[in-house]
């Protein structure tokens, strides 16, 4: 994924060009059709997503508990804590997503600690109580 696309994402916007370049090698871009389940509650996690375009619903036990849109991210709780997915995410519209797999996610944690800290803050805010 091109570094300039990453710079437009709030999670990554404060990174230096060098760090954006490094991150771009760890992130792929994918497109999702409307109505597709992107992650399934209770399953093992292998990837982390950032929404570039589109919107999705967050479901816990089949009940909608939130909505996500451009700039939002999901999938981090299970990767960070090596836990099953805490919710399902279903696309409402066609979507473009930045995706980072577990290995690259952990490289990012080690090499870009400021981003990892932001993700950890979001994890604590989103963790079901």
At residue 56, the 3 state secondary structure works out as strand
Integer Cα distance of 71 and 97 in angstroms: 10
- Domain hosting residue 99, numbered range: 30-126
Condensed to tens digits (0 to 9), the pLDDT of residues 105-124 reads: 888 888 888 877 877 776 67
Query: What pLDDT sits at residue 60?
Result: 93
Residue 1 lies in a domain: no
Condensed to tens digits (0 to 9), the pLDDT of residues 23-59 reads: 888 899 999 999 999 999 988 878 889 999 999 999 9
Residue 6 lies in a domain: no
Residue 95 lies in a domain: yes
Query: What pLDDT sits at residue 78?
Result: 57
Per-residue pLDDT averaged across 56-71, rounded? Answer: 95
Indicate which CATH number applies to the domain containing 56: 2.60.120.10
Average pLDDT, the chain: 86
Per-residue pLDDT averaged across 10-29, rounded? Answer: 86
Residue 18 lies in a domain: no
What is the torsion angle, in degrees rounded to the nearest 10, for the CA atoms of residue 103, residue 39, residue 128 and residue 62?
-170
- Domains in the chain, number: 1
% of the chain at pLDDT higher than 70: 90
Query: What pLDDT sits at residue 58?
Result: 96
Phi/psi of residue 120, each to 5°? -60, -40
Checking if the pLDDT of 64 tops 90, the result is: yes
């Amino acid at each position: 994924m091109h570094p300039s696309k990453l710079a437009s994402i709030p999670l990554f916007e404060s990174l230096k060009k060098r760090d954006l370049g490094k991150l771009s090698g760890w992130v792929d871009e994918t497109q999702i059709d409307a109505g597709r389940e992107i992650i399934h509650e209770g399953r093992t996690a292998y990837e982390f997503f950032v929404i570039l375009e589109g919107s999705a619903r967050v479901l816990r036990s089949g009940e909608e508990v939130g909505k996500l849109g451009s700039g939002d991210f999901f999938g981090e709780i299970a990767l960070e804590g090596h836990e099953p997915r805490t919710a399902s995410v279903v696309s409402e519209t066609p979507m473009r997503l930045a995706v980072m797999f577990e290995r690259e996610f952990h490289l990012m944690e080690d090499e870009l600690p400021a981003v990892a800290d932001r993700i950890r803050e979001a994890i604590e805010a989103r963790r079901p109580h």
